Structure 1
Amino acid sequence: MTEILAPVEHRDDAWRGAPAAPGPAAGPLALSPRRDGTEVGDATPAGGLAQRLNRLRAGVLGANDGIVSTAAVVVGVAGATSSPGPVLTAGAAAVLGGAVSMALGEYVSVSSQRDSERSLIDRERRALAADPEGELERLAEVYASRGISPATARRVAEELTARDALGAHLRVRLNIDEDDVASPWHAALASALSFILGAALPLLAILLPPAAARVPLTFAVTLAALAVTGAVAAWIGGGSRLRAAVRVVVGGVLALGATFAVGSLLGTIGIV
């Protein structure tokens, strides 16, 4: 069990936009606050903060991809032809294919994360059963390494172990909550649904207005929606909303401009 002797920060929440749980504060019997306001050692109900953040992250990313990828497809086709039939066909194919792709990608990604977390949970459970005193010492060492006196660190470790040994080790040493492992099905569903909702904006914008207004309106709707999703994504991760919004809007302008130029070129030379 040497692979779990040192403190490990297992969950990389940068992926996901949420800050990592902070360590314990220095002081007598200080417990580290968790992101939902409870303390280390407190039970978390199923479907807790990690799962909610996971669904929210998947939803925002899905909406962002739905907006920009579908808009790029329909604007490119609209640059080649003014007929609504090809635009609708291409847009519908982009929505369906993109939603399935996003859902599959989220399912595979979060399944890998879940399997890794479950493996670590099982490993820690076996370690506690095989060497409870050694695991207690390692838990105390974690607190001592964070500035708590050895005697106080030992008391903290003993009290947390008496309350919930497995939960204490998972949360303090591995940053995992046994009752809050991410669900791949929730992430996949959130991603697919948000992709479809996001894709509906440029699809409606390109189909409903008069032919002369279709492309400019689609550009405007797409870039406004991208600014919103970029700001929301930054809010989840605690970053600059303005910087994130500008970043995704610039990317959207490049994507739409490139596909419209290619579609116009193909339409001009008669390929489409």
Structure 2
Amino acid sequence: MGTESFDLHGEHHRINRNSWLRAAVMGANDGIVSVSSLMLGFIASQADNQTIVLAGLAGLVAGAMSMAAGEYVSVQSQKDTEQADLAIEAHEIKKNFEFEKRELAAIYVERGLSPALADQVAHELMAKDPLAAHARDELGLHEITRARPLQAAFSSAAAFSVGAGMPLLTALLLPGHWLFVGVIGMTLLALIILGSLAAWTGGASISRGASRVLVWGILAMAATSAIGHLFGINAG
């Protein structure tokens, strides 16, 4: 009779993608919507092509830096909280090891283990790595969900730049009289693709994912176009 081998980590769970997917989707969506809307406002105000491109480029650089800074500060704050909690837990384990072991066993009892088995599991896990056991089972900190500030910052900035580069490239390639329609068309197509891809990657409904980003993108473009149109009329 052959010996069967099992891959205990064979599944590819979608939660493993959450940290980078959130930053990438948010960054690309913000890049497309904000820079497209900014450029449409200038186009509607009858600005010349050089001014429109300059506005888009400025929006790209400022937005990418803002996204990076915002993500870094936010995720670093989360990391600081995690480290503070781990420091407290490490101190408690060193101070009162047996109490912490009983606390861990009580957690396993609440999850359905018998008291005897819970004591055994807590004893063996505490013997190997007590802080890791408490971090996972008491604090809910897992390696795949740990805060990574630099990764989040770079992902957001890069994704924003890619998204913002689409309307900017459109403005560089199209003649002036096609800019308004071209930027709108490119933005809507990009938002549909982005929303669908994000939903598919996360295992959600593709139609709902696309419609969410599409509606908000349309509202943003409409608002800035109206402001640019009014500004152009008043300036004239």
- Pairwise TM-score range, normalised by the shorter structure: 0.7 to 0.9
Structure 2 portions without partners, runs of 5+? 1-7
Question: Structure 1: how far apart are the matches of 2:45 and 2:175?
Answer: 16
Which protein is richer in helix relative to its size? 2
Quick one: which of 197, 204, 220 aligns to 1:239? 204
> After the TM superposition, which of the residue ranges 118-127 and 185-194 deviates more from structure 2?
185-194
Quick one: which of 149, 160, 165 aligns to 2:114? 149
Aligned-pair CA distance for 1:94: 0.8
Quick one: which of 183, 193, 218 aligns to 1:253? 218
Equivalent position amino acid for 1:79 in 2: A
TM-score by length of 2: 0.87
Question: Structure 2: how far apart are the matches of 1:254 and 1:179?
Answer: 36
Deviation per CA, 1:214-239, whole angstroms, max 9, x where unpaired?
A: 11121121122222332344345543
- CA-based RMSD: 2.5
Question: Structure 1: how far apart are the matches of 2:10 and 2:34?
Answer: 33
Quick one: which of 215, 218, 227 aligns to 2:192? 227
Deviation per CA, 1:160-203, whole angstroms, max 9, x where unpaired?
A: 22222111111111111479742212211111111111100011
Instruction: Verify the 8 A CA contact 1:170 1:177 in the aligned structure 2.
Output: yes
Equivalent position amino acid for 1:168 in 2: A
TM-score by length of 1: 0.76
Instruction: Verify the 8 A CA contact 1:78 1:87 in the aligned structure 2.
Output: yes
Using the aligned pairs only, state the percent identity.
42
Match runs of 1:50-129 below 5 Å: 53-81=18-46, 83-129=48-94
Change (3 A) 1:263 1:179: closer
Question: Structure 2: how far apart are the matches of 1:232 and 1:112?
Answer: 29
Aligned-pair CA distance for 1:122: 0.8
Deviation per CA, 1:132-180, whole angstroms, max 9, x where unpaired?
A: 1111111111111112211121122122222221111111111114797
Partner of 1:169: 134
Question: Structure 2: how far apart are the matches of 1:230 and 1:243?
Answer: 8
Question: Structure 1: how far apart are the matches of 2:127 and 2:27?
Answer: 43
Change (3 A) 1:192 1:260: same
Partner of 1:216: 181
- 1:269 aligns to what SS in structure 2? helix
- 1:187 aligns to what SS in structure 2? helix
Match runs of 1:129-208 below 5 Å: 129-177=94-142, 181-208=146-173
Question: Structure 1: how far apart are the matches of 2:20 and 2:184?
Answer: 28
Question: Structure 1: how far apart are the matches of 2:223 and 2:101?
Answer: 59
Equivalent position amino acid for 1:156 in 2: V
Instruction: Verify the 8 A CA contact 1:76 1:261 in the aligned structure 2.
Output: yes
Question: Structure 2: how far apart are the matches of 1:174 and 1:238?
Answer: 27
Instruction: Verify the 8 A CA contact 1:104 1:188 in the aligned structure 2.
Output: yes
Deviation per CA, 1:205-259, whole angstroms, max 9, x where unpaired?
A: 2331122321112112112222233234434554333212101101101111121
Equivalent position amino acid for 1:90 in 2: A
Which gives a bigger RCO, structure 1 or 2 (Cα 8 Å, sep 6+)? 2
